Amino acid sequence: MDISYYTLARTFKSPPFVSIAALLRSRSGIKAKAKLAIDRCRELERKHPQLVERNRQFNERLLEAKEYAALMQQQRDQARASVNLPHDPPIGTHGYGAIMIALAVNLAMSIGFRGAAGAIRIFYDAFGLQNEITPHHDSIRNNAETVDHDVVIQRDAAHYAATQVKSILGKDEKFQQVISQMGTTRSKTQQTELGFLSPPTPKNKARFMNLSRIILWMTMMLWLLRNPKTTCLAGVDSERLRDKFAWIETYADQIPMWRSCQSVISTFVTFSNEQYLHEGASVKLAAKIGELKHPEACELRDRLVKFVLESESALQPGERLPLSTQLLESVFGQYKQLEGQHSKSGFTGLVSCIPLLHSAPTPASVRESFAKVTKKQVADWVNTHVGRTLISKRRAACAEHRKALKAQHANCY
């Protein structure tokens, strides 16, 4: 049986004030805990609406995500169920329409004929079009050869400028003397401590395209001859320097004229590369070069402006054409890439595809080209102008050799 609290209390011998103090301390602790609990409840009550709002927003986003996922699933199922290709009727006797031909040829220009055929087949298989027939790589090649372009022949601006400056400076005795002196100086200094000052090596071809380097070198050497104490000449004997390069001072008065000619060439080539040939280009070029004080430079300017003016006569209204072979050289690089492993075996029938490297064919251009040129016409042109390729001749030689070996082997028995 439990002992009552009153009975238990009589066993304590502490004074009453001690008990009262313990009770007061306990009550104070309880009040502090109660206050903390009340403050916490108020804080939670304050945050409750915010948490409810956030939960509502999350639920809305989740619902939108589910709806979007369902829509994507529906679209994917529809795409898998049916792929609607655009209407693309065959052109004439060709098995494919203009859209397919343009697609195949454009792919071939980037990844080759076999790669284009494989890529189209992969695309069709991915969309469940296994029963559809796609172009063979030989068919793509034949189609590419049939798409033709008109060509306007123009002379290269840079090479024309080189021939003109050659005709002017080539008659200049002092310039010829400089070229001769440069060769002599190069042989005397290139294996010595003055090798870093040797004249630039001239080009074997288009030597006058090297004019800017010659002028720059001569200008630098004149400055060094007049400033022998510069840091770059430390350890170089000044007398030896003058012994090898003092001849340049003889032509100091000619350098401004040569530099003026070089400025005309640079302006002309830059203008041709940036502006291309167009109506009114000659007038713009003359204004770009401006006035000159040296007769040789004036003559060179007049020749180049006349060249551009005459070239304008071949243009159609609103037409703009390049005046540099840089694009042509780039095209030959692309052509070699198109030939692939056969790029070192000479020209083949693919030479008729070169115009395609300038611009990508479209369905409209394909229809126009196929209306002008037939596959037979292309084949006849290739046979007439290209003829048998190196590969075909090599194969014929190997075949004839094998035939002769078989005959010789048969005669032995």
Condensed to tens digits (0 to 9), the pLDDT of residues 267-277 reads 998 888 888 88
d(CA 211, CA 182) in angstroms, rounded, equals: 13
Residue-number span of the structural domain to which 25 is assigned: 16-81
**Mean pLDDT over residues 154-182, rounded?**
84
Structural domain contains residue 215:
yes
Domain count, the chain: 3
pLDDT level of residue 146 (50, 70, 90 thresholds): low
Tens of pLDDT, residue by residue over 18-41, are 777 777 788 888 888 888 888 888
Q: According to the model, what pLDDT value does residue 182 have?
A: 92
Same-domain check for residues 306 and 219: yes
Which residue among 30, 52, 81 closes a domain? 81
- For residue 213, give both structure tokens: 């380097």
Which residue among 265, 282, 312 closes a domain? 312
**Mean pLDDT over residues 137-154, rounded?**
62
Bigger pLDDT: 407 or 247? 247
Same-domain check for residues 146 and 210: no
pLDDT level of residue 92 (50, 70, 90 thresholds): low
Residue 165: Cβ within 10 Å count: 24
Share above pLDDT 70 across residues of the chain, in percent, rounded to a whole number = 79
Same-domain check for residues 183 and 251: yes
**Mean pLDDT over residues 359-370, rounded?**
75
- State whether the Cα torsion 372-376-380-382 is positive or negative: positive
Using a cut of 0.85, tell me whether the model's pTM lies above it: no
Bigger pLDDT: 6 or 113? 113
Cβ pair 181, 214 in contact under 8 A: no
Q: According to the model, what pLDDT value does residue 349 have?
A: 63
- For residue 296, give both structure tokens: 């040789």
CA atoms within 13 A on the CB side of 350: 25
